[in-house]
Amino acid sequence: MTRAELVEQIRLKKSFLCIGLDPDLDKMPNAVMNAEDPIFEFNKAIIDATHDLCVAYKPNTAFYEAKGLSGMQSLVKTIDYLNENYPNHFTIADAKRGDIGNTSRMYAKAFLTEWAFDSITVAPYMGSDSVSPFLTEGPGKWAIVLALTSNHGASDFQKKSTGNQLLFEEVLNTSSSWGTPENMMFVVGATQADALREVRALVPDHFLLVPGVGAQGGSLEEVAENGCNDDVGLLVNSSRGILYASNGADFAEKAREEAKKLALSMAKYC
C-alpha cells in the first residue's frame, strides 16, 4: 500500500485506527477454542467484525512464534485472509527485526515478499545497513522504525542525552535520511504524548505508528492533537482493549463496539 492509498483510506473511513492482532490463548473465548485453528478463527472473527472501522491490522509475531509451527501457520493464514478479502487495509508485521545487512535482507524477503505484509517494525540499533534492506522491497513496502516507545524501560536509553540532543531525537534525525515518507514510518508510544509535538517537528511528513492507546493508558486526544499533520499522519493502535472486550460468545460484537468508539473519536481529526 502506497502512502497515497493509505491516506485515501483514512479519509474514506474517517479513521486512523490500527487493530493489533495479538491472540493470547489464555484470554481467548471458549467459542473458538474447539476450532481446528483457534488463533485463526479468533482473528478472522475480529477482522470480519471491525474491517470497516480501521485502516490497518498489526499482528505481533511473538504471539504466533510462541506456538511454534502451528502458530506461524495461523499467522500466514491470517495475512492471506486479509490480503484476499480486505486488500485495502495496511498490514504490519510487528516483528521488530534488525540485524546485519544480509540477515535483514532475509527478514525483509520473508515478511514483505513471501508473506506479503505491507510493512514491518524494525529496530535501528545496528544502523543503516540493518534497516536499508527493508526499504528496497519495492513500492508500497515500508519499514517502521522504533523511535520512542511506550514501555517502562524506554527512558533507560531513548531519553539519554547524546550531547546536543536525546538519543531518540538522534534516531529520528539520522534514520529519516535513510528512507522517505513514502517508505518509512516511526513508532512513537501513546504514553509519550508529551514528546509527540517534538517528534512531529523532527519528522513533519512521516507517518507515526502509535501503540499504547486503551489498555496501556495512552490518550487518543493528546496523540491526535500533538501528532497529526496535513495527511493525519498517524496509525493509532489498540490491541487488548478491542480483542478482549468480552471473553464470551459475543467477543466479536464487543470488539466491534470498542473499535467503533475509537473510530468515532478519530473522525474529527480526519
Domain count, the chain: 1
Averages of pLDDT over each 10 residues, the chain, 270 residues: 98 98 95 96 98 98 97 98 98 97 96 97 96 94 95 89 92 96 95 86 97 74 93 96 95 97 95
Q: What is the pLDDT of residues 48-57, one digit of tens each?
A: 999 999 999 9
Instruction: Given the residues 96, 159, 260, 261, select the one marked as catalytic.
Output: 96
Residue 60: which domain range?
Answer: 3-269
* Residue 225, C-alpha cell as written in the block: 492533537
Q: What is the CATH number of the domain that holds 195?
A: 3.20.20.70
Q: Given this model, what pLDDT does residue 214 score?
A: 62
- How high is the mean pLDDT of the chain? 95
* Distance from the first to the final alpha carbon of the chain: 19
Contact 192, 154 (CB under 8 A): yes
Active site residue 96: yes
